[in-house]
A = this chain, B = another copy of it.
Amino acid sequence: MGKGVAWILSVGNELLIGRVVNTNAAWLASKLTHLGYSVRRVVAVPDEEGDIVEVFREALGRADVVISTGGLGPTPDDITNLAFCKALGVEPVVNQEALRMVKEKYEARGYPLTPEREKMAMMPPGAKPLPNPVGTAPGILYEHGGRVVVLLPGVPREMEAIFEGYVEPVLRSRGPPVYFAEQVLVVRGVPEADVAPVIREVMKMDPALYIKSHPKGFEVEAPLLHIHIYASAEDRQRAEALVEAAVGRLKQLLIAKFGNRAEISTTQAPR
C-alpha cells in the first residue's frame, strides 16, 4: 500500500537552536501522507555543507521522494542547492530558466543581478526550476532513477506555494492513486494502558489500518484519550469504510470492557 517512502530534510541553524518550530516539516508530512507516501524520516541539519551533503546522501539511498526546505536564498549560508550537487557528485550549473526567473524579480525593482542572486539559479544539470510565486528563490525538482528530489525555500508561504503549484501534481501522478481516511475517537474515564489491548486487537482487522492513542488528560487522575484511526487504500471508499469499521469495533470492545466507566464520543479529524 502506498506510493513509496518519503524523507523530509529541514535545513537551517534556526531549527537546531530552537529559534523556529519546524512547522514546514509537519505541513509537508501531512501533504505527503495524504498523497499516499509513507514519511519515514524528518531530519533537521544545520547550514553546514558537510551535514547537508551527508543527509542528502542518506536520503537518496533510502527514499523514493526527498523534500528539503531551507537554504535556497541569497545569503552566504544558503547552500542547500550547492550541497545537493555535491551529494550527487556533480558540478552545479547556472540554469538559464531559473536565472531568468531570478533576474525578472530583481530587475522589475531596479536591483542588479549580483553573484549572491545568481547563486539562486544554480542546480544540478538536468534539474528543473520551480517558479516561486511569492519570493525570489526558485524551487528545484530533480528526477533521477525513479526518485524525486525537491528543494524548497524555508519561508513557509514560499514553500507552500511552490509545493502546491508544482510539486503536488507531480507526486500525485506517480504510482496508483492512494486515499487516506481518518477519524478521532475521544474516550474519557479509562487509562490509556487499559485501552492498549483493545487497540491492539482492532488493529488486527487490516494491515492498512493504523490506530494510535494520544493521552490528553492526566493518565491516572482524569484520563482523557484521543484515539486516532487511520487507513489508506487505493480508493477513497475503501479507506473510509475501513476507518468506519474500526471505529465501530473499537466502540463495541470499549463498551464491553468498561461499560459506563468509558465516556466515548467522536470528534472531527482536524482536516
The answer to whether residues A41 and B45 also contact, given A14-B214, A192-B75, A200-B76 and a CB cut-off of 8 A, is: yes
- CA distance in complex: A199, B39 (Å): 36
Report whether over half of chain A's contact residues are helix, strand or loop; otherwise say mixed: mixed
CB–CB B116/A196 < 8 A: yes
Q: Quick check: A219 and B136 within 8 Å, CB to CB?
A: yes
Q: For residue A116, which residues in chain B have a CB less than 8 angstroms away from its CB? A: 193-194, 196-197
A258 at the interface (CB under 8 A from B): no
Interface residues of A in 171-217 (CB under 8 A from B): 191-197, 199-200, 210, 212-215
In contact, A135 and B219 (Cβ under 8 angstroms): yes
A220 touching B136, Cβ below 8 Å: yes
Query: A109 — which chain B residues lie within 8 A by C-beta?
Result: 220-221
Contact A218:B134 (CB < 8 A) given known A19-B30, A33-B18, A193-B117: yes
Are B40 and A193 closer than 8 Å at their CB atoms?
no
Given A74-B193, A136-B219, A220-B111; A230-B17 close (CB under 8 Å): yes
Q: Does A268 contact B (CB under 8 A)?
A: no
Say yes or no: A25-B40 contact (C-beta < 8 A), given A76-B196, A109-B221: no
Q: When chains A and B are docked, how far (Å) is the Cα of A213 from the Cα of B13? A: 11
Q: Output the least CB separation between A28 and chain B (Å).
A: 7
A114 interface residue, CB < 8 Å from B? yes
Q: Confirm or deny: A73 has a beta carbon within 8 angstroms of a beta carbon on chain B.
A: yes
Contact A18 B26 (CB under 8 A): yes
- Whether the Cβ atoms of A41 and B39 lie closer than 8 Å is no
Q: How far is the CB of A238 from chain B (nearest CB, A)?
A: 19
A219 vs B191: C-alpha distance when bound (angstroms):
51
Q: Which residues of B contact A111 (CB under 8 A)?
A: 191, 193-194, 220
- CB-CB < 8 A to A164: which residues of B? none
Known contacts A19-B228, A21-B26, A76-B196; is-contact A41 B40 (Cβ 8 Å)? no
Chain A 103-118: CB-based contact to B (< 8 A → 1; otherwise 0): 0011011010010110
**Bound CA–CA A212/B78 (angstroms):** 10
- Given A10-B42, A18-B33, 19 more A-B residue pairs with CB atoms under 8 Å apart are A14-B212, A15-B42, A16-B41, A18-B31, A18-B39, A21-B21, A21-B22, A22-B22, A47-B212, A73-B192, A74-B191, A75-B192, A76-B200, A106-B191, A111-B191, A111-B193, A117-B193, A134-B218, A135-B219
Pick the 3 closest A-B CB pairs, nearest first. Answer: A18-B30, A74-B193, A18-B29
- 11 A-B residue pairings within 8 Å (CB atoms): A14-B212, A14-B214, A15-B42, A16-B39, A42-B44, A43-B43, A43-B44, A105-B220, A111-B191, A134-B218, A155-B215
